[in-house]
Amino acid sequence: MIEYHSPREIEQMRPAGSFVASVLTALEAAADVGVNLLELDALAHEMIRSAGAESCYIDYHPSFGAFPFGKVLCTSVNDAVLHGLPHDYRLRDGDLVSFDFAASLEGWVSDSALSVVVGTPDPRDLALIDVTQRALAAAIEVFRPGNRMGDISATIGAVAREAGLSVNLEFGGHGVGRTMHGDPHVANDGRPGRGLVLKPGLVLAIEPWFLQSTDKLRMDSDGWTLRSADGSRGAHSEHTIALTEDGPLVLTAR
C-alpha cells in the first residue's frame, strides 16, 4: 500500500534524514586504505547507539537474504554493488566502496547511499560514481507533483544509457516511512508518462546503481552481497526525498 504523509509528518522525518546523512558523512571521512570494513560498521553502530536510533538492517531478513543481515551497514567493494555484508577486509589503494545505510529515529526511517574511492582513484571509477550522482540529481528534479513514476525511472535510465551503461531492473528505489521498504517500487529505467501520478506526501528512496560493463548480478557465497556477473565495478547513490507542494525535499542531503 502506498502511503502519503502530511506536512507535519514530513517535518517529523527531518531528524532521521539528518542522522542518516551524518553517518554517511562520517563513513566517507573514515574510509581509507587499511581501514577494516568491520571498523566502519562499528562506527555506524556506535553512532546509532549515541543517537538513540535503531538499525533497519541488523534483523533484516527478506526472501533474497540467506539469513538476518546481522550488521548495521552495507559495504559493497569493487565488483560488489548492493547489500555488501561487512566482513574482515581492509580497504586497499584504489578500492571503490559503496556505503548504504538506513536507520529509524523517532519512529521514522531514512535511507541513503554513496560511493567513494579510497587512495589513488581510477578515472573510470570516478566516472561511474558521477553517473550515479547525475542520475539521482536528474531523478530528484522530475520528482514533482503531477509527473508520473515513469518519468523518474525514464530519467535515471536515460542518464545511464547516455553514459553507455545498461540498467538492471531487479533492484531499485522504494517508498519510505515508518519502515525501510514500502510501496511503490522505483525502477531505474522505464517509460515517461506512465505509472503512478506523483502527489505531495509521497516519500521515496531513489537509488541509481550501475555496473561498468553489465547489468547482470551474481550472489556472493556470503548469501547477501550482490556482485557484477563479469567482475566489473559498481557504484550506488541514494537519497530519501519527500514530495511537497513546492517540490522535492531531500531529507538525507549531506
Report pLDDT for 96.
Answer: 98
Domain assignment of residue 31, yes or no = yes
Which residues does the annotation place in the binding site? 83, 100, 111, 174, 181, 207, 238
| Residue 64 confidence class, pLDDT cut points 50, 70, 90 | confident
Question: Model confidence over 44-63: pLDDT tens digits?
Answer: 999 999 999 999 999 999 88
With a pLDDT cut of 70, the percent of the chain lying above it is 100
Domain assignment of residue 2, yes or no = no
Cβ(241)–Cβ(249) under 8 Å? yes
Which residues does the annotation place in the binding site for a divalent metal cation? 100, 111, 174, 207, 238
With a pLDDT cut of 90, the percent of the chain lying above it is 98
Q: Which domain holds residue 233?
A: 7-250
CATH number at residue 101: 3.90.230.10
| Residue 116 confidence class, pLDDT cut points 50, 70, 90 | very high
Question: Model confidence over 151-196: pLDDT tens digits?
Answer: 999 999 999 999 999 999 999 999 999 999 999 999 999 999 999 9
Domain assignment of residue 1, yes or no = no
Domain assignment of residue 87, yes or no = yes
Domain assignment of residue 57, yes or no = yes
Report pLDDT for 228.
Answer: 98
Give the predicted TM-score (pTM) of the model.
0.97
Cβ(188)–Cβ(167) under 8 Å? yes
Report pLDDT for 163.
Answer: 98
CA dist 120 → 31, 124, 220 (Å): 13, 12, 26
Domain assignment of residue 129, yes or no = yes
Report pLDDT for 243.
Answer: 98
**Average pLDDT, stretch 113-139?**
98
Domain assignment of residue 59, yes or no = yes
CA-to-CA distance for 60 and 16, rounded, in angstroms? Answer: 19
CB atoms within 10 A of CB 94: 14
CA-to-CA distance for 177 and 203, rounded, in angstroms? Answer: 7
CA dist 182 → 3, 78, 206, 208 (Å): 8, 28, 12, 17
Domain assignment of residue 105, yes or no = yes
CA-to-CA distance for 97 and 79, rounded, in angstroms? Answer: 9
Helix, strand, coil shares of the chain, percent, nearest 5, are 30, 25, 45
Question: Model confidence over 11-45: pLDDT tens digits?
Answer: 999 999 999 999 999 999 999 999 999 999 999 99
For the CA atoms of 218, 226, 125, 96, what is the dihedral angle to 10 degrees? -130
Report pLDDT for 63.
Answer: 87
Give the three cell numbers for residue 232.
566489473
Residue 91 has pLDDT above 90, yes or no: yes
Q: How many domains does the chain have?
A: 1
Cβ(93)–Cβ(80) under 8 Å? no
| Residue 126 confidence class, pLDDT cut points 50, 70, 90 | very high
Report pLDDT for 166.
Answer: 96
| Residue 208 confidence class, pLDDT cut points 50, 70, 90 | very high
Which residues does the annotation place in the binding site for substrate? 83, 181
Q: For the sheet containing 226-228, what is the strand order?
A: 80-82, 226-228, 217-219
